[in-house]
Structure 1
Amino acid sequence: MSLAPYVAAGFAALDKLAEPPAPISVPTLACMAGVSQFIGLTAQGLRCLARGGKSSGQGDPRVLRTPEGYFEGLDAFPFAPHYFEHDGCRLHYLDEGPNDASEVVLLIHGMPTWSYLYRKVIPPLVAEGYRVLALDFCGMGKSDKPVDSTKYSFASHVASISALVTHLRINHPCVTLVIHDWGGVIGQAALPTLAKVQSRLVVLNTLGVGPSCMGLKGMLCFFIWQGACRVIGRALPIADLCAGGAGGPNLVSAKAAAGYGAPFPSTDYKALAAIWPLAYNDLYRVWKQYYDALCWAQDNLTAPILVAFANEDVIVDGARADNFYKSWMKRSKAVESVAIPNASHFLQEANPSAVSTAIITFIKKH
């Protein structure tokens, strides 16, 4: 039974909540986080006890690689795979368009997706003559997947973006960085390391700094997701979550939805997917690295920024995000915004043509 309709209904219910005009108070945030953590940690603790005191996959030395057969017949995904080594794992990326193109578009996915999310955004960009890259983070897509969740780190994901750029010997300012969801947090944390190659930043349904961009509905969704991941763990129904987050089965076919679950033949492959919304094992270090990078960007980032948000996303509020980037990125040559119609959180799935058009228009303008 598909859970996608229920996920979509949950998003719709959250969307009907009235957003308070004032920012969320610290006590309210603390209460929401506390309830989420209590429920989640209780369930996680019970599962841990059932396994003799070990968390799922702890101490398991295996690094899994999804067999290529699981990716056969994917919906609208004709792209050739490419690989490079990073931090002891083989990472996958797409490389479409001419290698000598004057413009490079680097697409960064979030949670719990992979480069498949951009499959319908890529062809229009290539048709414009751009070189298009799309990275799969370690633990997702066609990249290697350590079974032990303690082997993943936010810092390694951040470093993998610049590692790909270095691997491809891109060394001049031609890169338009396109970021989405948790990939936005990772991508923005990588900004200082991309200073020499970055020419533009495109922000798709991405967090700024907590409630300043998310609002009450977004924070509720985040804490519900966080608690659910602790309760469900590696049984996370990834295909249904992605389909529901893109608008449900009315917008996403069963074949298209199956592509999001293809990288995970069993729960052993889901170590990262189960911990990603929990911000790994060290929340302080994650947000410090992210905040430090934003402070660097505030003082140094001159690249123009496009804030593109779906008009039906309940996780990130487009108006709040637009205000955040305009007030924070003061050295940027331009901060523009565009609303993507008829789309929810996974806007690349729901309205890919509008997303690609927004990126192309922005590149031609700047």
Structure 2
Amino acid sequence: MYTYQEHLDKLHYYTTPEGKMAYLDEGKGEVILLLHGVPTSSWLYRKMIPLLTNSGYRVIAPDMLGYGASDKPNEYEVYSDEHMGRRLLSLMDHLNIHEWTHVFHDGGGLYTWAMLQQDPSKVKQLIMLNTIVYQEGFRPPLKFAPGRLAKVFAKQYSTSLGQKIVLIPTFKNGIDDKSVITEEMLEGYRIPFLYNGQHGLYYFFTQTCRKITDYRPLHQSLDIPLTVIWGKHDTMLVWKHLEKEVMSIFNIQPEDIHLLDAKHFIQEECPVEIAEIILNKMK
């Protein structure tokens, strides 16, 4: 059994101007960066990391500011996509890593696009897992304008009772195979939010009432191979609304798309399948 405390014991910390970022750095070899979204952290990839490191790769898995064991400043714009992307580049520069395979999930897509807008030269290939790409495929269950209601909702993630109402149902609704939902698993998502963990969530939730940034011009300019791995039963990020445009803009073929029999949190349901696809792409 792998506990959240054991996970915490493995983390390193990098100090940014806005606060400390926690990150995992395991294995040796070519680098694979695993980027989480909302409301998760590097804990999301705990099942996949040994599969990648045991195959001869170095894995970096950060907790973005506001999530996991990273600092959670009570500010607003520090959580913007631009700032999140800048911190990723800064972390990798701090680690003296100048090229990597970039795996990203959910809201991590927005951080990734913002990062690539600042510097696309470091990423060797992109592997996209149920990610925010365009407005057409994004179906958030709730939308909040900035203000009191959004603050009250985000605050629920920071109380034990509130987590039973909002956090735990998020995972139950985003996972097909309910047998993977254990107290041990949920512990790694619940604990980080118990200590004023609502600030990054508040920023994210109040962006859902607006159209997300249109990164099509960036996507059209990129010359980076893209692989798609997607839980085909996801109701929040719907692949069928994205498929034609993603294939066209990124110039990818059907063999670059892998649809899994899962919902949103595919790392919990299909870690072996995802790792195998990534490893095949690393050859």
* TM-score using structure 1 length: 0.67
More deviation, 248-257/180-189: 248-257
**In structure 2, distance between residues paired with 1:148 and 1:226:** 18
1:296-334 Cα deviation digits (max 9, x unpaired): 3312x222110110021111222333322221124x799
How far residue 349 of structure 1 moved from its aligned partner, in angstroms, is 1.1
Mapped to 2, the partners of 1:166 and 1:260 lie a distance apart of 28
CA distance 1:87–1:324, shift in 2 (3 Å): farther
1:192/1:154 Cα in 2 relative to 1: closer, same or farther (>3 Å)?
A: closer
How big is the shift at 1:230? 5.7
State the SS of the aligned residue for 1:140.
coil
The one-letter amino acid paired with 2:241 is R
Q: Give 1:123 shift.
A: 0.8
Q: Does 1:86 align with 2:13?
A: no
Q: 2:232 aligns with which of 304, 307, 311?
A: 311
Aligned amino acid, residue 144 of structure 1: D
Which consecutive unaligned segments of at least 5 residues does structure 1 have? 1-71
Deviations 1:32-65 (A, max 9, x none): xxxxxxxxxxxxxxxxxxxxxxxxxxxxxxxxxx
Out of 274, 277, 280, the position equivalent to 2:202 is: 274
Partner amino acid, structure 1, of 2:91? L
1:241 corresponds, among 167, 170, 173, to 170
For 1:159, the equivalent position in structure 2 comes to 86
Structure 1 position 251, deviation (Å): 2.9
Q: 1:335 to 1:158 in 2, by over 3 A?
A: farther
SS in 1 for 2:203: helix
Per the TM alignment, residue 82 of structure 1 is displaced from its structure 2 partner at its CA by 1.0
In the TM superposition, residue 73 of structure 1 has moved relative to its aligned partner by 3.3
| Aligned pairs for 1:1-366 within 5 A | 73-74=3-4, 77=7, 80-98=10-28, 101=29, 103-149=30-76, 151-171=78-98, 174-211=99-136, 213-214=137-138, 219=139, 222-224=140-142, 226=144, 229=150, 232-236=153-157, 237=163, 238-247=167-176, 249-266=178-195, 268-279=196-207, 287=213, 291=215, 294-299=216-221, 301-330=222-251, 336-341=256-261, 343-364=262-283
Q: Flag the 1:197–1:233 CA change in 2: closer, same or farther, 3 A.
A: closer
* 1:170-217 superposed Cα distances (whole Å, 9 cap, x missing partner): 22xx41111111111111221133422211000100122101x34xxx
Structure 1 pair 234/140, CA: closer, same or farther in 2 (3 Å)?
A: same
CA contact (8 A) 2:85 2:115 kept: yes
Taking only aligned residues, the RMSD between alpha carbons, in angstroms, comes to 2.8
Question: Percent identity of the aligned residues?
Answer: 27
- Secondary structure at 2:192 match in 1: coil
Cα–Cα, structure 1 residues 319 and 235, in superposed 2: closer, same or farther, change >3 Å? same
Provide the residue aligned with 2:160 in structure 1. none
Contact kept, 8 Å, 2:8 with 2:69, in 1: the verdict is: no
Question: 1:147 Cα shift?
Answer: 2.8
- Give the whole-Å Cα distance in 2 for the aligned partners of 1:207 and 1:153: 15
Q: Which amino acid aligns with 1:112?
A: P
After TM superposition, give the deviation of residue 231 of structure 1 in Å. 5.6
Consecutive unaligned residues in structure 2, runs of 5 or more: 158-162
CA contact (8 A) 2:143 2:208 kept: no
Q: Which has the higher strand share?
A: 2
- Output one character per residue of 1:107-127: Cα deviation in whole Å (capped at 9) or x when no partner: 111011001001111111111
